[in-house]
Amino acid sequence: MSIVADMWIGGTRTAGGGSPIAVADPATGDTVDQVPAATAEEVDAAVAAAAEAFGAWRRTDAVERAEHLRRLADAAEAHAGELVALLTREQGKPTLEAQGELRHFLGGLRYYAEAASKLRGSYQELPSQFGPAYGLVVRRPLGVVGAITPWNFPLTLLANKVGPALAAGNTVVAKPAETTPLATLRVAELAGEAGLPPGVLNVVTGTGPVAGEALVAHPGVRRVAFTGQTATGRRIMELAGPALKRVSLELGGSDPTIVLADADLDGAVKGIQIGRYWNCGQACLAPKRAFVQAEVYQAFLDRLVERVGRYEPGPGDTRAEKPKLRIGPLHTAAQRDLLAAQLADAVDRGAKVLVGGEALNGPGHFFQPAVVVDAPEDSRLATEEVFGPILPVWKVEDLDEAIQRANASQYGLGSSIWTRSAVAIDRAIRELDAGVTWVNQLHYGYDELPFGGTKQSGFGREHGQEALEEYTELKSVVVGGLV
């Protein structure tokens, strides 16, 4: 198969010199397309294009940059069917979920189009020992941003970086995951068609160790915005540290969810089910460990098991007959093997699988969604990030135990509590070690609120006005000579 998806550098489709990477459909194993595996020289060319474009882009006013982001969103929306189909084919997610991802992507770009003109600085009175003067604090764009994204939400995670970076006047070199580069490349091409100046948004494809590391280490890249695994985040820090680059690290998570006896149980079961099994369980912010108060433990399990039993694994571009619910394949065979090993570790040591848990035969990487109880506290289901459709549920006596066990994790991305008690809610907000706490709500990343982690889930924030500010640096100005 010839390479039909080239890279996007300096506003033109650019073929790569290295051997191509095949992009496989997770539902069938068929090759969807091939993309170049960028070399360090090709990454260098993309950074050079972004650096050249920065000169003019930083001088545009915020209204103009906002207009470009809006036009990009409009162009992507006009090609929604094509982008949704690409997401399903390269990532595996069902069409309905791909449509949701595209909406979130458009929402992210439009949010930052609105936010572009809201960046503010400040004025400061100063003492006059060197003559009358006043101070200003202004915000300036950083320059070239390296944006590295994973395969689970290729487009929303791109918008989280490209939106604030461009709104604040930076230019971007994006590197999508090697298994999901196609929707990202198409978006970059659409941006060119929509009039985004050449070099403002570039996309290089390729592997993490070669293209990703070249981008992180490149002296022309001022800031690295990374989403991916915690282990990769550590490597990014190693590379960016000596060059004193700014980094944001959106890493893995093992979000706890607490269900107390006074909760709206149906609401809790439904919210946790959708949150855990959406995207075939491959979401950073999914509830991945459930702690349920003893009084409602059995009722919670009964209702959850009934709902999870309705999932029918199948290709994302087909629908399930009601009341069955479509769930797509895991993204790769390696992902499925890891999940099976994590489950086996718990089962070997006494955990019980109440529903699902089998890897299904076939060319696709399908897995029957599972609910598990009695997993040991030191089992892999409890201590590692579980990136697939398995929910371990533990019985707890009270809120104290729930918070203590919820916090007994290396991760600290999201967390949630289901209760009607204001006192319990207040304690959860104060005491759960996480970047987000949802109260009686689905785990979802809102454009309006900063999102990110603590502990081994990383640092820095995406979304909200706060993320926009992370793409600027402060300059203090002293203005004298006034009399």
Which positions touch ligand NAD (CB under 6 A)? 148-152, 157, 175-178, 208-209, 212-213, 216, 227-229, 232, 235-236, 250-253, 284, 385, 387, 413, 453, 457
> Are 171 and 50 in contact, with CB atoms under 8 Å apart?
yes
> Are 115 and 167 in contact, with CB atoms under 8 Å apart?
yes
Minimum Å gap between C-beta 399 and ligand NAD is 26
CA distance 475 to 113: 23
Minimum Å gap between C-beta 50 and ligand NAD is 17
Tokens 């982690």 belong to residue: 453
Nearer CB in complex with ligand NAD: 75/216 = 216
CB neighbour list of residue 128: distance below 8 Å, 6 or more residues apart: none
Nearer CB in complex with ligand NAD: 227/383 = 227
Q: How far is CA 455 from CA 238, 321, 331, 355, 383, in A?
A: 17, 42, 26, 32, 14
Nearer CB in complex with ligand NAD: 217/359 = 217
Which two three-digit tokens encode residue 435?
């970047």
> Are 329 and 25 in contact, with CB atoms under 8 Å apart?
no
CA distance 82 to 84: 6
Nearer CB in complex with ligand NAD: 56/341 = 341
> Are 251 and 458 in contact, with CB atoms under 8 Å apart?
yes
Minimum Å gap between C-beta 398 and ligand NAD is 30
CA distance 418 to 401: 15
Determine the residue type at 214: A
CA distance 336 to 357: 11
Minimum Å gap between C-beta 25 and ligand NAD is 17
3-state secondary structure of 159: helix
The catalytic position among 97, 101, 189, 250 is: 250
Minimum Å gap between C-beta 161 and ligand NAD is 11
Nearer CB in complex with ligand NAD: 137/334 = 334
The catalytic position among 213, 280, 284, 385 is: 284
> Are 257 and 418 in contact, with CB atoms under 8 Å apart?
yes
Backbone angles phi, psi at 165, to 5 degrees: -65, -50
Does the annotation mark 284 as catalytic? yes
Torsion, Cα 469 437 232 50, to 10 degrees, reads -20
Minimum Å gap between C-beta 163 and ligand NAD is 14
Nearer CB in complex with ligand NAD: 215/325 = 215
Minimum Å gap between C-beta 154 and ligand NAD is 9
Nearer CB in complex with ligand NAD: 396/462 = 462
**Neighbouring C-alpha atoms within 13 Å toward the C-beta of 192:** 17
Which element (helix H / strand E) includes 469? helix 464-470
Nearer CB in complex with ligand NAD: 91/419 = 91
Torsion, Cα 378 379 383 385, to 10 degrees, reads 180
For 248-269, b where at least 16 C-beta lie within 10 A, e where not — what string? bbbbbbbbbbbbbbebebeebb
Which element (helix H / strand E) includes 467? helix 464-470
Minimum Å gap between C-beta 122 and ligand NAD is 30
Minimum Å gap between C-beta 213 and ligand NAD is 4
CA distance 240 to 247: 7
Nearer CB in complex with ligand NAD: 291/387 = 387
Catalytic residue set? 250, 284
